[in-house]
Amino acid sequence: MSPVQAACSPEIGPKTADRPVERCRWLSMDGFGLYSVQIQSPGVTMSRSDIHALFEQYGILSTPQRLEVAEILLEKPQHMSADQIIDRLRETGSSVSKATVYNTLNLFGERGIVKEVMVDPVRKFYDSTTHPHHHFYNVDTGELRDIPDEQVRFSELPPMPEGTRRESIEVLIRIRGEG
């Protein structure tokens, strides 16, 4: 898995060309072409102590169940649905309840550890890339993948309603196979 782009926050440390950054948000691509952010150096799995530190940074009380969910979701750059996380938990022999998984994911989304991506009224993905960005959603396969920001251009935006300002622009393009 090779990094596509690194963005370091000031509390983690600046990125420089002459020395490696030990703690960074790395935008990478997995084997399915799904882009996501991992809060660590590339090729290094987050340890439990890294996850504890992340929880502390985001004001999340560490519990064994939250740790299990975080270990799966943050193990590599990926977009995952709650059901995919539950399946992975079951494969490891975990007994974390479905309700706990949903509550944990909602908490992670509220606190900013992951980004919730609604692809339709009944399907939600959890994305560890937390800055505004664009996606392709394949309605045939259920795959969600990022679109690099430089590939989406707007020639003009409508005026904002009075008393408001633009917070972000995020595009979701639904696609399907040609057949």
Residue 157 lies in a domain: no
Residue 34 lies in a domain: yes
Cβ neighbours around 126 below 10 Å, total: 24
- For residues 40 and 24, the answer to whether their CB atoms sit within 8 Å is yes
Neighbour-count burial for 64-89, b at 16+ CB within 10 Å, e otherwise: ebbbbbbbbbbebbbbbbbebbbebb
Which residues span the domain enclosing 119? 3-152+162-175
Neighbour-count burial for 31-46, b at 16+ CB within 10 Å, e otherwise: eeebbbbbbbebeeeb
In whole angstroms, what is the distance from residue 2 CA to residue 39 CA? 14
Per the structure, the count of domains in the chain is: 1
CATH number at residue 26: 1.10.10.10
Residue 141 lies in a domain: yes
- Report pLDDT digits (tens) over 6-51: 333 333 333 333 333 333 333 333 333 333 333 444 445 678 889 9
Residue 112 lies in a domain: yes
Residue 14 lies in a domain: yes
Residue 123 lies in a domain: yes
Q: Which residues contact 113 (CB under 8 A, 6 or more apart)?
A: 54, 58, 60, 70, 128, 130
- Report pLDDT digits (tens) over 44-81: 567 888 999 999 999 999 999 999 999 999 887 788 99
Q: Give this prediction's pTM.
A: 0.63
Q: Which residues contact 125 (CB under 8 A, 6 or more apart)?
A: 79, 80, 81, 116, 117, 119, 144
